[in-house]
Chain A
Amino acid sequence: MAGQGVGYIFRALGANFAIAVAKGVGAAITGSGAMLAETLHSLSDCVNQVLLLVGLKQSARPPTPQYPLGQGRNLYFWSFMVAMLLFLGGGAYSIYEGIHKLQHPSSLSSPVIAIAILGFSLATEGWALSGALKAIKARRGDRPLIQYLRETKDSDLVVIFGEDFAACIGLGLALAAVVVTAVTGNPVFDALGTLCIGAVLVGVAVFLATEVKSLLLGESADPALLEVIHQCAAEDSRILKVLRTLTVQQGPGEIVVALKLQYQPDLTTQTIVESINKFEVRLQDRCPEVKWSFVEPDDTD
């Protein structure tokens, strides 16, 4: 939700930036080209967080004639772009690098520095991940984590969690690969590690892209809202039946509700208007995320 604080994005940005600096120092000390490439890679990770911040800013724009429902969906758009970058710049790039290393194996020049940097990075990413998990915990309540990730409309949090999670797994794999390579002296393990990291990043990116794309196309709101709508309708005896309801998640924390209600046949204009307006007040009280509602009196579905 745009209003619930974005500390976890800044935390991830800070973590990635610190990692980029550590890798840069490592590159300067060892003069290793691979470490320089890693530095650039971590800097490009920072771009992802900047894109999410751009998305949050754009999604807060007020409605205009061109965008009568505001621009909340901009956050889903930029979240999708981040998933794409994670796929290409993260996953596809790592797989390419792994294949390259398999074809031209080179022995590790300074495993101690590499292990130190990877250990530092793992601690930093773990810190960022714990921030995202804390934010998720506060929102998911009793729902299991995977169910929350699939159902939530807060794409920025899911994307940040996915990125941090993939980064931690990736760093763990890299650490294992470097240690095994240093012990056995066989650089093939380093290449295999890179390939595994690429596979993890591709998998996470595909999951994120699928979830965010669904939101971008126009998902319905949480189905629990339908029950709230029926309750609100049942509390007014003049409303006979809910004929049709339609909910659309416009952006994080922004829901459009459109419904058709069947009223008693002999009410006057004023009574119907009053009943509809009270219904809308009840609905928005119980679900403040409903930002637009259109209630039409009708006779058949």
Chain B
Amino acid sequence: MAGSSSEVIKSLIVNMVIASSKGVGAVLTGSGAMLAETLHSFADCGNQLLLLFGIRRSRRPADASHPLGYGREMYFYSFIVALLLFTGGGVFSIYEGIHKLEHPEPVGDVTSGLIILAISILLEGWATLGNLKTMKARRGQVGLYKYLRDTKDSDLVVVFGENSAAVLGLLFAMAALVAAKLTDDGRWDAIGSLAIGVVLVGVAIFLAREVKALLVGECADPAILKTAEELALAEPTIARVIRILTVQQGPGEILVAMKLQFKPGLESDAMVDIINKFERDLEARVPDVKWTFIEPDRED
């Protein structure tokens, strides 16, 4: 649903605070790695801005060139974010890890690094918990993994994927920093970067696959098929449902098209009334249904 912009804004603020604290750390320590981290966190803010832009674009009304509106803009920008997470996040971290392995830096003072990481974990954790709470409210009894795979609210999934990958990545970074200090071996830091890169690549691939399915035109939740069939068969003049098809156009926007067999002997007026009543009932039961086309047909 386009209503999750508050989750995106929360993540944006978190990333801005983290970027600023890393920036302060970079100035205090003069570390090049910390400066790179600062730029990296600012790039994360770019992802949230893209999602907010997508939410805005997806609200444009339908026009002649796009008769079903622009809801799918949300999926488009979610996909772009997944791509950026893959390249700017994952591939970049792996490249950095390999570079650090080849040229390990001596382990200096880790105190400021640990403090910044701890602040970042708290903030990202807070954002992730917020996402989890919002998702809990939407998924009800459905398991989390199944919800992530089935939901049509790509913005929420993308923000959650980003935040949880960030928490995991920060934990790796912290462990790597501690291990590097204890063993006085800079290569632990490199291994940390590699692990973070692998996590980001994995999360990005999961997100990209899910969002791509929505982008190319997935059906809506199969439960809607059942609801529509039930409603149709409850109407005594409808003999059977010949064909039913749903398309998830954007978050909270579903098109339903059906071919129904009516009992013989109905007049046009009565048929139109029945169809219109059916459409009203369906939209009342499933408010996400924005377009319905009901064709009377006969069995072939």
- On A, residues with C-beta under 8 Å from B are 65-69, 71, 73-74, 76-77, 84, 213-214, 216-220, 223, 246-248, 250, 258-260, 263-270, 272-273, 276-277, 292-299
A299 to B216, CA, bound (A): 33
Contact in complex: B216, A74 (CB < 8 Å): yes
Find the residue from B68, B73, B216, B276 having the highest chain A CB count within 10 A: B216
Contact in complex: A218, B218 (CB < 8 Å): no
Contact in complex: B67, A246 (CB < 8 Å): yes
25 chain-A/chain-B pairs, Cβ below 8 angstroms: A66-B213, A67-B216, A67-B219, A68-B247, A213-B76, A216-B72, A216-B215, A217-B72, A218-B68, A220-B66, A246-B67, A259-B293, A260-B293, A263-B268, A263-B272, A265-B268, A267-B267, A268-B266, A268-B268, A269-B266, A272-B296, A294-B293, A294-B295, A296-B295, A297-B271
CB neighbours of B95 from chain A (8 A): none
Contact among B218, B291, B296 with A269 in the assembled complex (CB-CB below 8 Å): B296
Contact among A74, A216, A272 with B271 in the assembled complex (CB-CB below 8 Å): A272
Contact in complex: A248, B297 (CB < 8 Å): no
Contact in complex: A297, B268 (CB < 8 Å): yes
The secondary-structure label for the interface of chain A is mixed
Contact in complex: B218, A67 (CB < 8 Å): yes
A73 to B247, CA, bound (A): 13
Closest to A68 in B: B245
Contact in complex: B268, A77 (CB < 8 Å): no
Contact in complex: B296, A276 (CB < 8 Å): yes
A229–chain B nearest beta-carbon distance, Å = 13
Interface string of B57-78 (1 = CB under 8 A from A): 0000000111110101100100
Check B264 for interface membership: any CB of A closer than 8 A: yes
A69 to B245, CA, bound (A): 8
Contact in complex: A296, B294 (CB < 8 Å): yes
B116–chain A nearest beta-carbon distance, Å = 31
Contact in complex: A71, B216 (CB < 8 Å): yes
Contact among B212, B217, B268, B292 with A266 in the assembled complex (CB-CB below 8 Å): B268
CB neighbours of A71 from chain B (8 A): 216-217
Contact in complex: A299, B68 (CB < 8 Å): no
Check B234 for interface membership: any CB of A closer than 8 A: no
CB neighbours of B264 from chain A (8 A): 268-270
A270 to B264, CA, bound (A): 6
Beyond A68-B247, A220-B67, whether A268 also contacts B265 by CB under 8 A is yes
- On B, residues with C-beta under 8 Å from A are 64-68, 70, 72-73, 76, 83, 212-213, 215-219, 222, 245-247, 249, 255, 257-259, 262-269, 271-272, 275-276, 291-298
Query: What 15 additional pairs, Cβ within 8 angstroms, besides A73-B215, A268-B267, A269-B266?
Result: A66-B218, A77-B216, A84-B83, A213-B76, A217-B73, A220-B66, A260-B293, A265-B269, A266-B268, A267-B267, A268-B265, A268-B266, A294-B294, A298-B272, A299-B269
Contact among B73, B217, B263, B268 with A267 in the assembled complex (CB-CB below 8 Å): B268
A51 to B265, CA, bound (A): 54
B139–chain A nearest beta-carbon distance, Å = 20
Contact among A69, A77, A250 with B212 in the assembled complex (CB-CB below 8 Å): A77
Q: List the 7 shortest-distance A-B pairs measured between CB atoms, nearest first.
A: A294-B293, A258-B293, A73-B216, A294-B257, A68-B245, A269-B266, A267-B268
Contact in complex: A217, B70 (CB < 8 Å): yes
A30 to B267, CA, bound (A): 84
A74 to B266, CA, bound (A): 42
CB neighbours of B292 from chain A (8 A): 296
Contact in complex: B268, A298 (CB < 8 Å): no
Contact in complex: B68, A246 (CB < 8 Å): yes
CB neighbours of A67 from chain B (8 A): 216-219
CB neighbours of B64 from chain A (8 A): 220, 223
CB neighbours of B275 from chain A (8 A): 296-298
Beyond A218-B249, A276-B297, whether A65 also contacts B219 by CB under 8 A is yes
Closest to B297 in A: A273
Contact in complex: A265, B68 (CB < 8 Å): no
CB neighbours of B259 from chain A (8 A): 294
B106–chain A nearest beta-carbon distance, Å = 31
A298 to B276, CA, bound (A): 8
Contact among A217, A219, A266 with B76 in the assembled complex (CB-CB below 8 Å): A217
CB neighbours of A66 from chain B (8 A): 213, 218-219
A196–chain B nearest beta-carbon distance, Å = 26
CB neighbours of A65 from chain B (8 A): 219, 222
Contact in complex: B76, A269 (CB < 8 Å): no
CB neighbours of B219 from chain A (8 A): 65-68
A217 to B247, CA, bound (A): 13
A66 to B272, CA, bound (A): 30
A247–chain B nearest beta-carbon distance, Å = 7
CB neighbours of A77 from chain B (8 A): 212, 215-216
Contact in complex: A217, B66 (CB < 8 Å): yes
A292–chain B nearest beta-carbon distance, Å = 8
Contact in complex: A297, B215 (CB < 8 Å): no
A7–chain B nearest beta-carbon distance, Å = 25
A44–chain B nearest beta-carbon distance, Å = 15
A65 to B218, CA, bound (A): 9
A69 to B225, CA, bound (A): 15
Contact in complex: B67, A248 (CB < 8 Å): yes
Contact in complex: B267, A296 (CB < 8 Å): no
Contact in complex: A69, B296 (CB < 8 Å): no
A223 to B66, CA, bound (A): 12
A264 to B65, CA, bound (A): 31
B260–chain A nearest beta-carbon distance, Å = 10
